Amino acid sequence: MNIFNYITIGSMVLLTVLILIQTRGASLGAGLGGGGEIESVRRGSDKTIHQITIVMAFVFSASILLSVIA
């Protein structure tokens, strides 16, 4: 296995955890997109987690692309 496979697996796990952390509301329906709240502004740690999720999605995509090329 090359280094890109390890980066892909690590970023996949982190990306999954970050997406699950961002769930709003306490019920199962809210976790599946059924939450009734409308929040248009992210603040504090929610904004930071959102930005880290975007970076991890880029790292995940780039590692897959680089492993295919290499």
pLDDT tens-digit readout, 8-25? 999 999 999 998 988 665
CB 12 within 8 A of CB 5: no
Q: Where are the domains of the chain?
A: 1-19+44-70
Please give the pLDDT value at position 46: 83
Average the pLDDT over 57-68 and give the result.
Answer: 92
Global pTM reads: 0.70
Q: Is the pLDDT of residue 29 over 80?
A: no
The CB density around residue 1, as the number of other CB atoms within 10 Å, is 7
- Percentage above 90 pLDDT, the chain: 39
Q: Is the pLDDT of residue 36 over 70?
A: no
